[in-house]
Every structure is written in structure tokens, then in C-alpha cells.
Amino acid sequence: MKTSEIISAWRKILRGERPALSVEITRECPLQCPGCYAYDDAHLGGGITLRSLNDRKGRELIDGVLDLVDRLKPLHLSIVGGDPLVRYRELEEMIPRLLDKGIHVQVVTSAFRPLASGWAALPRLNVVVSIDGLQPEHDVRRAPATYDRILRNIAGQNITIHCTVTGQMMKRPGYLKEFLEFWTPRREIRKVWFSLFTPQKGDQLPEMLQPHERARAIADMMALRTEFPKLDMPEGMIRQFAAPPRSPQQCVFALTTQTISADLKTRIVPCQFGGDPDCSSCGCVASMGLAAIAEHKLGGFIPVGAIFRASVKIGQARAKSATRTPSPEEPLRVLS
């Protein structure tokens, strides 16, 4: 991120706005992955579910997403689902128009169908393909988006692999290394991210990591990041997995990202997981990345997190008392 983009994000926070937006553009997905939070009954807070929402298609979807972006003016847009590639025709038209607005766009998909051939060359577009472990486990969990199909569908692309580490994977020593040995030599793979499975409060699922499995996943990632440069996870980010935010109010990611579901109206709170997530077991790579930035000390002694929390308070107070636009000097006043 450029300094000018950081200042723009900061100004949005001071206005009580969120610099990042995540949109579930469809309620549909051809997969039925165990542990999927999007189709959990509590995802949208109970009462309604993702599958019961009225989602949009065709021109209505394209115009709806573009309008949303014009209204909320995010600096970063994440397009998720369901699986966004269910609406591949709309995406192929929408993405260049979103990029023309100067924002960063991320598409998160299972790659169950081919990605558009032009996407590899688009600046500020990051396509993230979710892989649930090594082929034998992945193919059972994520058919029809099997390894063979994904490898065909990402040919010639420039993608990020995202793997959510589960308790099952951590029961086998060396699993993460084998995963990186398979994916990182491939030309289509720009980088790899690991998250750890994040449960809802009260869940008892085999995907959940026991404390010793979490500790080993952290130690493995620390060791593997030097051996596999495509594992794009700085030490400071990996360290955050050991001490996740205590609540959504402490989570920089939740405070800076607005998540909207497939009717382009329903808000998902407190973060992209919806429901009542167990922050103490959070393993979201985006949350850890922002927590690492918050821990950084400007000039060696002012924690970015302190400035951030002060800015959020100012923004929230200003949003309540509806508002004036902060001057360009305002970030510096907060800092001082």
C-alpha cells in the first residue's frame, strides 16, 4: 500500500467510514464444504440465511455493485459469495469497471470454473483461490472444485492460494510443508496465505485446532516462511495468531471492513464470519495482518493501534453528530 492510500484510509476512519468493503455477490455455490460459515444458519444473525436472500443477476447485479462502491467509496473491495464465479459473466464486465475507479479488488473463489483469461494482467486485481489442504482431503471436501479442475482453471493466471488450516491437517506432522511443496513451484501461484479455522462460540467441530495444534501451526509457519518465499506472511503477522483480538471491538479488521450480503443491503456483523464468532480462536489472516500493523510503533514508540483507536473514536463521534469532512491536516493532529 502506498503512503497516500494509508492517509486516504485514515481520513475515511476519521469520518466514521470503513476503508474496506466485502460483498457476497451471490447466494449460490456449487460446493458444500464442511465448516463453511457463509451457509451457517447464524451467518446473517438468525432469521434469514444467505440462501433465502433475494440476490441479483445480470445488469441488476453489475449496477448494484457499482452503485454500492460509488456510495461507500472503499479503497479495497473483496468480492466473495457463495462463489462469485457463479456470476462469471457479470464479474468479467464488473471488474475492469471497478478497477477504473482506482480501487484494489480481490475475488475469492474455489476456481470451480475457469478464470477470465485477461485477469492475469489486470493491475490491482488479486484472485484468491481457496484450497482445503492436500489433494486427498481437498477433493473430498470441495468437489466439484477438485485439484485437477483447479489446476486446469488457473492455467496462465497469477493467483494467491489461501488455505484454512484445520485440526485434521495439524494431526499430521509436515502437512503445511507438503502443501507448500505442491503449490509454490507453480508459475500461476504468486503467493500463499494460511488462515486457521475460526469457530463460532460453542462450536465443537473436527476443524477446530486444539491449543497445541495452533501452537504447532504457528511454529511451522514461522519456519516455512524462510524456506518458501511465496508464503507471503511476515513474522509479525504470524505472531498475532498466538494472541488474536479479544473481541470485535478490538479487531482492526472488523472495525475497518464493512461486509454486505447478496441482496446488496443486509450487513454482516461483526465481521465476514457473521453470527457470533469466537474471537479468542480467530485465525483470519486478514485480521492478523491488520493486528500486526496496529502493533507497529511509529518512530519506535507510538503504537499504530493507539492512533487507530483514537481515530475510530473520533470517526464514530463525528458519524453520530453528522459531520464535516476532516481537513488534510487532521491525521497529523490525531498523531500529535
Q: Which residues bind ligand SF4 (CB under 6 A)?
A: 29, 31-33, 36, 38-39, 81-83, 110, 198, 244-245, 248, 251, 253-254, 270-271, 273, 277, 279, 282, 284, 287
With H, G, I as helix, E, B as strand and everything else as coil, classify residue 139: helix
Nearer to ligand SF4, 193 or 228 (CB): 193
Provide the CA 237 distance to its chain's centre, in angstroms. 14
- Residue burial 303-319, b: 16+ Cβ < 10 Å; e: rest: ebbebbbebbebbeebe
Residue 127 one-letter amino acid: V
For residue 74, give Cα distances in angstroms to 17, 129, 295. 9, 22, 24
> Which one, 96 or 270, has the nearer CB to ligand SF4?
270
Q: Which is nearer to ligand SF4, 25 or 326 (CB)?
A: 25
Considering the complex, what minimum distance in angstroms separates the CB of residue 336 from ligand SF4?
A: 29
Q: In what helix (H) or strand (E) does residue 9 lie, and over which residues does it extend?
A: helix 3-14
Least CB distance to ligand SF4 at residue 23 (A): 14
- Rounded Cα distance between 44 and 276, Å, is 10
Residue 327 makes CB contacts below 8 A (sequence gap 6+) with none
Residue among 279 and 314 whose Cβ is closer to ligand SF4: 279
Specify the residue, 162 or 318, whose C-beta has the smaller distance to ligand SF4.
162
Nearer to ligand SF4, 98 or 286 (CB): 286
The DSSP 8-state label assigned to residue 116 in this structure reads P
**Measured from the CB of residue 273, what is the shortest distance to ligand SF4 in angstroms?**
5
Give SS3 for 120: helix
In angstroms, what is the minimal distance from the CB of 168 to ligand SF4?
16
Instruction: Kindly report whether the peptide bond that precedes residue 102 is cis, defined as omega within 30 degrees of 0.
Output: no
* CB closer to ligand SF4, 57 vs 177: 57
CB 56 to ligand SF4: min, Å? 17
| CB of residue 99 to ligand SF4, shortest distance in Å | 24
Whole-angstrom distance, CA of residue 123 vs CA of residue 238 = 27
Task: Report, in Å, the least distance between residue 66 CB and ligand SF4.
Answer: 23
42/157 Cα distance (integer angstroms): 35
Name the minimum Å distance from CB 63 to ligand SF4. Answer: 24
Residue 208 CA to residue 10 CA, distance in Å, equals: 35
> Which residue shows C-alpha cell 485480521?
287
Q: Which CB atom, from 150 or from 282, has the smaller least distance to ligand SF4?
A: 282
Q: Is 63 exposed, middle or buried (0-12, 13-18, 19+ CB in 10 A)?
A: middle
